[in-house]
């Protein structure tokens, strides 16, 4: 069976894998973290959980709307507010459902590729990564942020200059937990014009979330995040908590507070194409950076990448 190596198990990589499997092709997913979903991520600590990356998604196109309806039927997606959907019981739920049945190698820090007579080999700094079919992959899909895809494409000798067009803004996320009886804003989320904070989500208001505490996720503005991106996460809690208290009036001491740095969080400039592909090298690239900063855009890009590969292989 023809097997494709997919680097990155976020929404784009998983959508490509799903589409390729439906066409009778095999995939092996390589993911640098321990789980799936990329920025559709859920942080768990004890009885607490936080959707500290993507907060929700919408469905504008009919194909993705159909996919969302399937997820809702399967119980891995719920509606948070009319037209705004979240994974249930956590944001990673649809990603985990999509990954089921695929060969997945997690905590794999891919650094490059070599091509032999049987196909492509995926490597890390220590050498060949132990994975099903490694050394005989017919093609490679780079489903990672464009700045990470660029050196990987170069290692494969792939010519994909459009990668350079994509631009990201970073985001620092603050995760807060309070006792269940603490007063918080009633709205599911609030967008702000604050110099430091862009968004506050009443995270525990999402369907299926634990009721052990009232949780909030705070996203810093891009400019503030850029200026503090190299700070240690533990040093980011105090200034963001101070701004959170100022804009919400919640002065209580949190039960839990932690910060996370997303270096490639929000697509500011997309490449303007559904996916990119070097047919000679059989190396392609996809992600939300192709079409725009939305979960649906990542899904559309992954599907387009799969369709391009299927056509090329046939």
| Span 41-93, pLDDT tens digits | 999 999 999 999 999 999 999 999 999 999 999 999 999 999 999 999 999 99
Query: How far apart (Å, rounded) are the C-alpha atoms in residues 229 and 58?
Result: 28
| Phi, psi (deg, nearest 5) at residue 262 | -100, 105
Structure tokens at 26: 């095999």
3-class secondary structure, 26: strand
Query: How far apart (Å, rounded) are the C-alpha atoms in residues 87 and 40?
Result: 8
CATH number of 41-90+167-269: 3.90.660.10
- What's the confidence (pLDDT) of residue 181? 86
Q: In 3D, which of 187, 184, 175, 254 has the Cα closest to residue 220?
A: 175
Query: How far apart (Å, rounded) are the C-alpha atoms in residues 154 and 245?
Result: 46
- What's the confidence (pLDDT) of residue 212? 87
Give every residue of the chain whose pLDDT is below 50, as ranges.
none
- What's the confidence (pLDDT) of residue 185? 67
Domain 3-39+92-165+271-313 = CATH 3.50.50.60:
yes
Q: In 3D, which of 152, 108, 168 has the Cα closest to residue 278?
A: 152
**Angle at the Cα of 269 from the Cα atoms of 263 and 41, rounded to 5 degrees:** 40
- What's the confidence (pLDDT) of residue 187? 85
| Within this chain, domains 3-39+92-165+271-313 and 41-90+167-269 share the same CATH topology | no
How many of the other CB atoms lie within 10 Å of CB of 191?
11
What are the boundaries of each domain within the chain?
A: 3-39+92-165+271-313, 41-90+167-269
Residue with tokens 């850029």: 226
pTM of the shown model: 0.96
Query: How far apart (Å, rounded) are the C-alpha atoms in residues 308 and 313?
Result: 9
pLDDT (tens digit per residue) in 266-289: 999 999 999 999 999 999 999 999
């Amino acid at each position: 069976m023809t097997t494709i190596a997919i680097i990155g198990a976020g929404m784009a990589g998983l959508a490509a894998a799903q589409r390729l499997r439906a066409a009778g092709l095999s995939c092996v997913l390589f993911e640098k973290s321990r789980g799936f979903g990329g920025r559709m991520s859920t942080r768990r600590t004890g009885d607490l959980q936080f959707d500290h990356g993507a907060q929700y998604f919408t469905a504008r196109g009919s194909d993705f709307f159909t996919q969302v309806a399937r997820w809702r039927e399967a119980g891995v997606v719920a509606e948070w507010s009319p037209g705004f959907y979240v994974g249930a019981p956590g944001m990673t739920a649809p990603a985990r459902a999509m990954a089921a049945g695929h060969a997945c190698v997690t905590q794999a820090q891919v650094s490059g590729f070599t091509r032999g007579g049987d196909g492509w080999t995926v490597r890390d700094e220590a050498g060949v990564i132990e994975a099903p079919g490694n050394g005989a992959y017919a093609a490679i899909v780079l489903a990672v942020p464009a700045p990470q895809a660029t050196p990987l494409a170069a290692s494969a000798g792939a010519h994909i200059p459009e990668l350079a067009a994509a631009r990201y803004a970073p985001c620092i996320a603050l995760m807060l937990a309070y006792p269940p009886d603490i007063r918080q804003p009633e709205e599911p989320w609030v967008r702000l014009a604050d110099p430091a904070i862009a968004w506050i989500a009443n995270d525990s208001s999402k369907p299926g979330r634990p009721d052990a505490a009232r949780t909030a996720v705070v996203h810093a503005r891009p400019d503030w995040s850029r200026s503090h991106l190299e700070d240690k996460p533990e040093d980011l809690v105090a200034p963001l908590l101070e701004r959170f208290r100022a804009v919400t009036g919640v002065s209580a001491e949190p039960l839990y507070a932690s910060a996370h740095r997303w270096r490639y969080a929000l697509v500011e400039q997309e490449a303007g194409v559904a996916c990119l592909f070097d047919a000679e090298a059989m190396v392609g690239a996809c992600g939300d950076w192709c079409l725009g900063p939305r979960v649906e855009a990542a899904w559309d890009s992954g599907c387009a990448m799969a369709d391009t590969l299927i056509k090329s292989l046939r």
